[in-house]
Amino acid sequence: MEFNSAIVVTVFAVVIALLIWDRTNRAVVTLMGASVLVLLVVLDQNAAISAIDFNTIGLIVSMSAVVAVCRKSGMFHYLAVKSAKLADGNLWRILALGFARFTILAFHMMLMSIAVSTIYMYLRYFLV
pLDDT, residue 2, reads 66
Stated length of the chain: 128
Give the pLDDT confidence score for residue 110 in this predicted structure. Answer: 82
The pTM of this model reads 0.53
State which residues of the chain have pLDDT below 50: 1
Would you state the pLDDT for residue 128?
63
What does the pLDDT read at residue 33? 92
Is residue 106 a contact partner of residue 128, using CB atoms and an 8 Å limit?
no
Q: What number of other Cβ atoms are within 10 A of residue 83's Cβ?
A: 19
- Give per-residue pLDDT as tens, 28-44: 999 999 889 888 888 78
Q: What pLDDT is stored for residue 72 in this prediction? A: 94
User: For residues 30, 31, 33 and 34, what is the CA-based torsion angle, rounded to 10 degrees?
Assistant: 120
Separation of alpha carbons 81 and 100, rounded Å: 14
C-beta separation of 45 from 38 below 8 A: yes
